[in-house]
Structure 1
Amino acid sequence: MEYAGLGGLVVLALNIWAIVSIIGSGAGTGSKVLWVLLVLVLPIVGFIIWLLAGPRSSRAAA
């Protein structure tokens, strides 16, 4: 089994989840664009930063 491919798939899934959550958040458009760019350009680091400080979806806040 190739673990690098599996790890990449996990990172991809987490980044998709982060982007969907960012888009569904109540943050302003400019803020959303910057967060999505951060997650896309720095997949692992950007995800961790979003997890700690990023905007949450409106469902998560309720």
Structure 2
Amino acid sequence: MGIEVGGFFGLILLVLNVWAIIKIVQSLASTGTKVLWVVIILLLPLVGLILWLIMGPRGNTSGI
């Protein structure tokens, strides 16, 4: 049993995940931390996004 995401909700989730990955790559966090967050979001799209929103780095962007 898995969670199947499709249709409009799936598209929204994809856009949010891409946005989160861009924000992670632009952050000033260490490379290891960036890789860990990206892997979590890719393996667990919904849960990873929620975890990143709650526990991810705050306000550290390189301004790219």
**Cα-Cα RMSD:** 1.7
Runs of 4+ in 1 over 3 A off after TM superposition: none
Unaligned runs of 5+ in 1: none
Distance 1:22 1:58 in 2: 9
Deviation by residue 1:1-53 (Cα, 9 ceiling, x = unmatched): xxx31110000000001000000000000110000000000000000000011
Q: Is 1:58 aligned to residue 58 of structure 2?
A: no
Residue in structure 1 matched with residue 14 of structure 2 by the alignment? 12
Kindly report which structure 2 residues correspond to 1:1-62, keeping only aligned pairs within 5 A, or say none: 4-56=6-58, 57-58=60-61
What is the TM-score with the length of structure 1 in the denominator? 0.83
Structure 2, unmatched stretches of 5+, are 1-5
How far apart, CA to CA, are the structure 2 residues paired with 1:32 and 1:18? Answer: 11
Structure with more of its chain in helix, by fraction = 1
Measured at CA, do residues 21 and 28 of structure 1 come closer, stay the same or move farther in structure 2, by a change above 3 Å? same
Distance in 2, Cα, partners of 1:11 & 1:31: 22
TM-score normalised by the chain length of structure 2:
0.81
